[in-house]
A and B are shown apart, each in its own frame.
Chain A
Amino acid sequence: MKRLASVIALGVLVTGVVPAAAQETESQPGTTPAFSPVTWERLLNAKDEPHNWLMYSGTLDSQHYSGLDQVHNRNVGDLELKWAYQIPQLDRAETVPVVVDGVMFITEAPSNVVAVDAATGRQYWRYNHSLPDDLRICCGRNNRGVAILGETLYMSTLDAHLVAIDARTGNLVWDKAVADYRAGYSKTEAPLIVKDEVVTGMAGGEYGVRGFIDSYNAKSGELEWRAETIPGPDHPDNQTWAGDSWRTGGAATWITGAYDPDLDLVYWGTGNPGPDWNGDVRLGDNLYSDSAMALKHETGALEWYFQFTPHDVHDWDAIQVPILADLEMDGEMRKVMMWANRNAFFYTIDRVTGKFLVGKPFAKQTWAEGLDANGRPIRIPGTSPTAEGVTVSPPIGGGTNWFSPSYSPRTELFYVQAYDGEDIFYKRDEDYVEGDQFTGGGGRRPLPVENYKSAIRAIDPKTANLRWEYEIQPRSTAGIMATAGDLVFSGSVDGYFFALDAVSGEELWHMNVGRMVHSAPMSYAVDGKQYITIAAGNVVYSFGLRD
């Protein structure tokens, strides 16, 4: 029936005629037939088509780096706003759009997605997900993006579903309940495509859930495997949880992982153990909370894990995007994973074995004397929460958090949003009730935020040493994108969007876009023009060079 539209009777009722001047135009700008199916091969080689941004972190190694260099450190001052897309919800956007051949897919609160023309920001279609009225969500109606395979988008929803949506129309293809939202499960992260499967996590670490990472058949929506982030009683690591505490131990998986096709390993971070601030009821290391997990893609079997914060009592989720790169270290090429953790330490890890290579604090911390030879923290006594309160750095929000860091293969620097804050941490007794929050305490900031330093820090991943920092006032909770134009883009809570020189950290351009920047920038090109895009407040802005 694809011929149908061409054989219809032309019952013309309204005609638009454009001015004569426009008719004289020889070229035909603004016309974009889009788009080609996104095969697994395209995703594998996403670096080869930098005009597209094919997944949450840009490429499977999650470097959150754009290979485009039309905008560079000598002309970035000529950036101007090209278009803005207003999300029809007031919630703060955390989305990173995906762009395929001139079409941009933007997720919105609470669990919606819209397709727009990437050159104008104007809409093709939208999908609104129906939600129940008794959701359990701790921290806002967030959604961070879609994955795409073929002509189908995959999106998490707040009622803990994974939905498949036709990328050309917004029609629902399938809708899979991943977990029971009534028990505190939800989903906010952008899924990750690996081959013909959709790998995806879950949220709910403040509700006494038991975390997992799932892989679904992209075509049928059937579950291929589930990797529990808290092993059951038949596994020896279950002994790292006192009694039955593993059943409600959290370790949620609410940010997108990475994939190494040569090793066939999926890398994914896990969240805090629960209850967050009262560890008395879950004595032990609480594996695999606050860890990086490396899973065999074929089966979901655990290849190795690296736990950043054993027996965490400060809510320092290892919910950061794992960044993969091959680095020459001590004369040897190493396949590494770089990780700036919420616990304020930066780590470079061998991603083949999980072996710790190097690590140092990248933000103020007062809870550990340092890391031992295996990367395990040497905890300072008296830093756990109490009923009266204990002041510790980093704060609950961490030395950094979920917002994407970036790595530039040109500068070989790792860029992270760092915060030298502190909180007073409290502990209280709390019983688990299914569907209710199960946190066992909390915290508060003792001084106004202006007392603490917030900065973008560039770290040499071979040594974990600081190369430069750019201070931000009052602070930032935004992601970062480095580009082949030797630029680093990021934003701040007071609405600034700015560009730094990737080599020196010098500020080169800034603009205030009005509201908090909380997501990460991304870049793409249409008709040979590079765009830099950021979601701020509830608006998505695209910038390009002045024509």
Chain B
Amino acid sequence: MSMRSLWSAVTLILVAVLSLTAAPPDVSAQAREEPPADNVFTGELDVQMGQRVFQQQCGRCHGEDGTGGEGGPDLTNGFRSASTDEGLFKIVREGIPNTQMVGISRRSTDQSAWMVVAYLNSLNDTNDVDLPGNAANGQQLYAGKGNCSGCHMVNGEGGRLGPDLSQVGNRRDPAELVSDLRTPDQDVAPRWWTLRVTRADGTVVQGLRMDEDTFSMRLMDDDEDLWSFSKRDVRSYDRIKTSTMPSVNATLTDAEVDDLVAYLFSLRREEI
């Protein structure tokens, strides 16, 4: 067992013990006076402990798996308000002023906060993995045979009728990308459903569902024009929950799908 793993095991036990006893309010305050500059709680057990704390204290808003919820953003695709572990720790510990984001319980230790940081980083792990495909070939397929750029943007270039893929490698792992390409109807986000609106005169406007509420809806049509409808002013509307993207099964070989996945997985934000 390495020293780090040993330390993690010890801290796991410590945390377990501490969690059984009510920590006095000033314990965390004392510990916060001199937070370590780097996270020393980054072992596998630390991540597991961090996940547990996250699920208990953060999951209600950010989702059990950190992918976001009604109260908090997705934390698996980078962080909007932190660029360092120290910054993440501060937010986990203290929250973000002027927002709904509050820090974890004052009764939680700084160590727990660091473990949450380790867990959050694990959700954003962009370490390279060995993929069977060739990313350079995949880039050519993306623009050519795959016809992806007609609907998707990468760094400002491309169409608007599908999700921006500039950093898709940060939010989708290779297996998910394969699934997206082969069975696009399997998991369609509401943003990419289609709204089919029949207006009072019987004419139809159809497009991607940008937003909808009780009384109104907004969509982008095939010409990439924006439309806004009051529901009371239209005859009817339909939500079509299938994807507008065709499966690649009929157009690309298995090797080409591997290449395309390799390219898409390479599309990630620049690390600071």
Contacts and interface: CB of A to CB of B under 8 A. Distances in A.
B241 A14 contact: yes
B153 interface: yes
B242 interface: yes
Nearest to B166: A172
B83 A132 contact: yes
Contacts of B73: 128
Contacts of A131: 80-81, 83
Interface size classification for chain B: 35 or more
Contacts of A120: 216, 228, 230
A4 B225 contact: no
Interface stretch (B33-41, B127-135, B198-206): B198-206
A396 to B, nearest CB: 23
B210 A125 contact: yes
Nearest to A151: B224
A173 interface: yes
Contacts of A432: none
Interface residues of A, number: 64
Interface in B222-244: 222-242, 244
Nearest to A29: B233
A51 B89 CA distance: 48
Interface stretch (A15-23, A235-243, A355-363): A15-23
Contact of A122 (B201, B228, B245): B228
Interface string A1-37: 1111110111111111111001111111111111100
Contacts of B272: 132
Nearest to A538: B98
Contacts of B238: 10, 12, 14-16
Nearest to B97: A90
B201 A31 contact: no
B69 interface: no
A91 B100 CA distance: 12
B147 interface: yes
A15 B220 contact: no
Contact of B200 (A3, A19, A28): A28
Interface string A119-146: 1101111001111111000000100000
B271 interface: no
B216 A30 contact: yes
A22 to B, nearest CB: 5
B82 A132 contact: yes
A512 to B, nearest CB: 22
Contacts of B82: 132-133
Contacts of B160: 166, 168-169, 171
Contacts of A33: 221, 225-227
B99 A89 contact: yes
Nearest to B239: A14
A122 B216 contact: yes
Given A117-B228, A130-B79, A133-B82, A2 B233 contact: no
A120 B147 CA distance: 36
Interface of A: 1-6, 8-19, 22-35, 88-91, 102-103, 109-110, 115, 117, 119-120, 122-125, 128-134, 141, 164, 166, 168-169, 171-174
Which 6 A/B pairs are nearest by Cβ-Cβ distance? A133-B87, A1-B150, A173-B156, A30-B230, A132-B83, A117-B228
24 contacts: A1-B147, A2-B159, A4-B161, A10-B238, A12-B196, A16-B231, A16-B236, A23-B200, A26-B201, A29-B233, A31-B228, A32-B227, A103-B226, A110-B81, A115-B226, A125-B210, A131-B83, A133-B88, A133-B90, A134-B84, A134-B87, A141-B98, A171-B160, A171-B164
Interface of B: 73, 78-84, 86-88, 90-91, 98-99, 147, 150-151, 153, 155-156, 159-161, 164, 166, 185, 194, 196, 199-201, 205-208, 210-211, 213, 216, 218, 220-242, 244-245, 272
